A and B are shown apart, each in its own frame.
Chain A
Amino acid sequence: MTTTMTRAAAAVTLHGVSRVFGRGPAAVRAVDDVTLEFPRGGWTAVMGPSGSGKSTLLHCAAGLERVDTGRVMLGDTDLTGAGDADLTALRRTRIGFVFQSFNLIGALTAEQNVALPLRLAGSRPSRSIVRSTLDAVGLADRARHKPRELSGGQQQRVAIARAMVTRPEVLFADEPTGALDSTAARTVLGLMRAMADAGQSIVMVTHDPGAAAHADAVVFLRDGRVVDRLAGAGAREVADRLAAWER
């Protein structure tokens, strides 16, 4: 992990990144020579047909997946050769995750789930931070519930609170509304919009043009390559563009 003194403008930068699964004739180029910047303080949506490499791209950008070629920079930190301890430290402090399957720990209450990253980082989380984070996602009254006692939308909001409690530089979200109905999805997207407006950098993979329309910019992926981008588009426009690329 090398850190240069210059302050990078982008939250995350990918330089010629490729990720190949398998080898020989069965090899799949899930991400194929992608060069891309996710701007600081902006919300970027990544769209594309199923299997186009969206999740893999997100995992590479977040340091969860090794890249075969190219480099990944988080701010001015090079993730490409980072060891496990460095990546763990990044996950604790600079990166937050939200996934389609909410990935809460069933044994812990909402409050405990939210406090978990802080506790793993070795600090004794103050109740007020945890409560205010839960409050920010509108779940202050559900702090003591276990995941199984919450609706899907509520579970996802707990997951967002957990991702936000460390005040990460970048929030990575893979289909955060994929398992939610439209009302719950709207709540979650509204929450993310508010976060982005407050300066949070967000990278979000989604299938849903309506969700992508909440973002500041949309990147289109196909067969592991970036094929298009759109800025400040509405759902209609995004849907049309997506349909064009899926054809």
Chain B
Amino acid sequence: MLGMSRAGLAERWTLFVGALLSVTLGVALVQSSLLLLITAATLDPPAGLSAAARLQFADGTSAAVAMLGVVLGGAVFLAGFIISSTFAFTVDQRRRDLALLRLVGGSRGQVRRLLLGEALLLGLAGAGLGVPAGLGVMAVQAWLMRRFEFVPEGFAGQWRMWILGVSVGTGVVLAVAGVLVAARRAARVRPLEALRESGPAARVMTAGRWIAGLLFFGGALALVIVAPHGGPAGGQAMAMNVAMPAAVAVVAFAPLLVPLLARLMPFGGGVPSSLARASLRDARRRSASVAAPLIVLVALVVGNTGAGASFTASGIDELARSTHADLVIEATGPVGPAIAKVPGVARASTELSLPAELTTGSGDERETETVTALVIDPTAYAAVHGTAVSLQGRAVAAGPGGEVPKRGEVRVRLPESDLGSLPVVASVPETMTGGASLLLPPGLVPAGQLDDAAARSFVSLAPGADPAAVRDGLSRIGKVSSLDEWLRADAADRSSTNDRIMLIVLGLGGLYALLGVVNAVVIGAATRRREFAEARVTGLTRGQVVRAALLEAYAVTGAALLLGGLAAAAAFIAVLSTTSAVTGAATLDLPWPLIGAVAAVGLTVTGLTSLITSWSATRRPPVTLLAVRE
């Protein structure tokens, strides 16, 4: 059987190059994300850092680890999806070959073993190429992370010997798992199908598709329903995870949805357009398989960037609405008394931030993490942020950043002192923008330890005070900006951070999905030489055949863009309900230029790929193809 596998691989190489590439890059992406995650998680702070800098370093690494966790999750999802859909597609495309094998005495088991043998070979070969390719991918990912300052200068992924096992396992398991269901279905192909020119394509919607579709639809629906109740952090996380299951659900129903939508696309008239339409009607599974990777690409990129931009915009709005002050001063150390002395200052809330190691729970539930603590003046804080907090003595409050229980005891260790166990007696509402997790009353932290702390003061002017004069007076203390200026700068900062995160999380994954799109188009065309040749001996010119193929690709792409948009829209519903629940204002801020770019790239890539594949598939004169009756 392995000999057959080898001969099969050699013959249908266009089909297999795509499958091989999908394994190679999938393995590379997973390996790189995993190595970077391990490297970041075991990163030690450089020697000679102050205690505060060490805590900040720990905070930074845990953020990088969290981000890499998302990157790894996305890589595993995409690798699983792209590899399994590519493999299933290649099997689907070979039904006639397999029926022929059955006709001359092949058993179902032999067909299954043949396909699994091929998957095993491809998985091994893909992993063999994927391991070195993964090193290249890792260099790029690490460079991006350094460049965007999510990791310290000099950060580079470290090689682990055991990753060899993981990568080979990833390649083989994903390839074999991907082909498992398709092989079962293919093994049931009837020998008679070998005798029909175009066998009755397998059932359009299998039971497996219905089950998977409904299951993932249920998952997406559950996330959409629960997200608004998850608070800002949980809600955002859930909303960002809607697009994936929604896309899988849409893909499962694609054999029904894609041809339906594709036929609604405007076609124009003429022979090529009616040929394209007929072929859409006829090859429903092929259309669905070609559309699948594009649906996932659009859903992930549009859904997640849209959600990210919306949450950022919502946070910016919320911050603007809930901050009541005229000026903002950024300074260092306990500058509160100095600011109060400046003439014209009616009220100032000076907030000093410190990294803190927070321990909650006890026994098995014990958790320690690095958070930001804010030393505040409760009355002034309440006036500026419009939320009451009453704190004194050793009592602390849960801040807007969450992560601290609203009541109970927490242990807090500051860089230079252990504050011990402190009662949490109050809390302020969590906000979309997050921020400090812990609010400390004045006097709890020994004075000397605040000298280097970053201080942000929100100042309200006394009635009739001259803003310019006050600004002047304050500028000796720190960097002064009007509230509007500060909000604008903060908004720009948040947006650019969001963009960078999206680029790291979606950038390489998006490119990989795009490869999946190219693959699907190539595989879809690989077995159509004969069909094209038949169209040509019927009297169509080469140009007309190519035009028909292009029209078909364009209709399938259009349908895929719409369906990807549909899956993304599910994420947007979660975004709207979550922002409304957290900030009171439902916000949706879609990155239209990016959406336009995704659509343009999708259309261009599928269009060009179909042009090239159908052009080369019609290169040989039709008779030479029809003469061989395999």
B161 is an interface residue with CB less than 8 A from chain A: no
Binds A, one of B22-30, B102-110, B139-147, B380-388: B102-110
| Assembled-state Cα–Cα distance A84/B97 (Å) | 18
Residue-wise interface mask of B (1-30) relative to A, using a CB-CB cutoff of 8 A (1 in contact, 0 not): 001100110111000000000000000000
List the A residue with the shortest CB-CB distance to B97: A105
Our pick among B102, B104, B195 for the contact of A101 (Cβ within 8 Å) is: B195
A106 touches B106 (CB 8 A): no
A148 touches B10 (CB 8 A): no
List the B residue with the shortest CB-CB distance to A112: B7
A162 touches B191 (CB 8 A): no
B101 is an interface residue with CB less than 8 A from chain A: yes
| Assembled-state Cα–Cα distance A89/B604 (Å) | 50
B628 is an interface residue with CB less than 8 A from chain A: yes
The 7 closest A-B pairs by CB, nearest first: A107-B11, A92-B105, A101-B629, A106-B630, A91-B105, A120-B105, A148-B628
A91 touches B101 (CB 8 A): no
A88 touches B106 (CB 8 A): yes
B172 to chain A, nearest CB (A): 24
Our pick among B103, B107, B192, B628 for the contact of A106 (Cβ within 8 Å) is: B628
| Assembled-state Cα–Cα distance A121/B107 (Å) | 9
Which of A93, A103, A116 counts the most chain B CB atoms within 10 A?
A: A103
A65 is an interface residue with CB less than 8 A from chain B: yes
B580 to chain A, nearest CB (A): 54
| Assembled-state Cα–Cα distance A112/B191 (Å) | 20
| Assembled-state Cα–Cα distance A88/B99 (Å) | 12
Known contacts A64-B191, A107-B10, A108-B7; A120 and B106 CB within 8 A of each other: yes
List the B residue with the shortest CB-CB distance to A88: B107
B100 is an interface residue with CB less than 8 A from chain A: yes
B104 touches A97 (CB 8 A): yes
| Assembled-state Cα–Cα distance A65/B190 (Å) | 9
Q: In chain A, residues 24-69, which have Cβ atoms closer than 8 Å to a Cβ of chain B?
A: 59, 64-65
Known contacts A65-B192, A107-B11; A97 and B103 CB within 8 A of each other: yes
B338 is an interface residue with CB less than 8 A from chain A: no
Residue-wise interface mask of B (93-121) relative to A, using a CB-CB cutoff of 8 A (1 in contact, 0 not): 00001001111111110100000000000
CB contacts (< 8 Å) of A121 on chain B: these are 105
CB contacts (< 8 Å) of B47 on chain A: these are none
Grouping DSSP codes into helix (H, G, I), strand (E, B) and loop, the B interface class, with mixed when no group exceeds half, is helix
B627 is an interface residue with CB less than 8 A from chain A: yes
CB contacts (< 8 Å) of B103 on chain A: these are 64, 91, 97, 103
A49 to chain B, nearest CB (A): 20
A74 to chain B, nearest CB (A): 15
Our pick among A64, A108, A155, A162 for the contact of B629 (Cβ within 8 Å) is: A155
| Assembled-state Cα–Cα distance A73/B225 (Å) | 62
| Assembled-state Cα–Cα distance A217/B498 (Å) | 82
CB contacts (< 8 Å) of B192 on chain A: these are 59, 64-65
Q: Which residues of B contact A (CB under 8 A)?
A: 3-4, 7-8, 10-12, 97, 100-108, 110, 190-192, 194-195, 197, 627-630
Known contacts A59-B192, A106-B11; A152 and B104 CB within 8 A of each other: no
CB contacts (< 8 Å) of B102 on chain A: these are 88, 91
Q: Which residues of A contact B (CB under 8 A)?
A: 59, 64-65, 84-85, 88, 91-93, 97, 99, 101-108, 112, 116-117, 119-121, 147-148, 152, 155, 162, 166, 174, 179
List the A residue with the shortest CB-CB distance to B627: A152
CB contacts (< 8 Å) of A148 on chain B: these are 627-628
B9 to chain A, nearest CB (A): 9
Our pick among A99, A119, A147, A166 for the contact of B628 (Cβ within 8 Å) is: A147
A59 to chain B, nearest CB (A): 6
| Assembled-state Cα–Cα distance A92/B110 (Å) | 13
Known contacts A103-B195, A105-B97; A120 and B630 CB within 8 A of each other: no
A103 touches B100 (CB 8 A): yes
CB contacts (< 8 Å) of A166 on chain B: these are 105
| Assembled-state Cα–Cα distance A120/B12 (Å) | 21
| Assembled-state Cα–Cα distance A91/B100 (Å) | 12
CB contacts (< 8 Å) of A105 on chain B: these are 97, 100-101, 630
A85 to chain B, nearest CB (A): 7
CB contacts (< 8 Å) of A92 on chain B: these are 105
CB contacts (< 8 Å) of A120 on chain B: these are 101, 104-107, 110
List the A residue with the shortest CB-CB distance to B628: A148
B196 to chain A, nearest CB (A): 10
CB contacts (< 8 Å) of A179 on chain B: these are 629
CB contacts (< 8 Å) of B11 on chain A: these are 106-107
Known contacts A106-B628, A108-B7, A179-B629; A162 and B104 CB within 8 A of each other: yes
CB contacts (< 8 Å) of B110 on chain A: these are 120
CB contacts (< 8 Å) of B627 on chain A: these are 148, 152
Known contacts A101-B195, A107-B12; A91 and B629 CB within 8 A of each other: no
| Assembled-state Cα–Cα distance A102/B103 (Å) | 12
With A91-B104, A103-B629 known, 4 other A-B pairs at CB within 8 A are: A101-B197, A119-B4, A147-B628, A155-B629
Can you spell out 13 A-B residue pairs with CB atoms less than 8 angstroms apart?
A: A64-B103, A64-B191, A64-B192, A88-B107, A92-B105, A103-B103, A105-B101, A106-B628, A107-B11, A117-B104, A120-B104, A148-B628, A174-B195
| Assembled-state Cα–Cα distance A65/B192 (Å) | 8
B7 touches A103 (CB 8 A): no
Which of B11, B101, B103, B105 counts the most chain A CB atoms within 10 A?
A: B105
B96 to chain A, nearest CB (A): 9
B194 touches A103 (CB 8 A): yes
Which of B101, B104, B195 counts the most chain A CB atoms within 10 A?
A: B104
| Assembled-state Cα–Cα distance A148/B530 (Å) | 13
| Assembled-state Cα–Cα distance A147/B12 (Å) | 15
CB contacts (< 8 Å) of A93 on chain B: these are 105
| Assembled-state Cα–Cα distance A106/B137 (Å) | 38
B104 touches A102 (CB 8 A): no
| Assembled-state Cα–Cα distance A64/B627 (Å) | 26
| Assembled-state Cα–Cα distance A54/B480 (Å) | 94
| Assembled-state Cα–Cα distance A105/B629 (Å) | 9
A147 touches B630 (CB 8 A): yes
| Assembled-state Cα–Cα distance A93/B105 (Å) | 8
Known contacts A91-B191, A147-B630, A179-B629; A107 and B107 CB within 8 A of each other: no
A113 to chain B, nearest CB (A): 9
| Assembled-state Cα–Cα distance A97/B7 (Å) | 23
CB contacts (< 8 Å) of A85 on chain B: these are 107-108
| Assembled-state Cα–Cα distance A112/B197 (Å) | 23
List the B residue with the shortest CB-CB distance to A152: B627
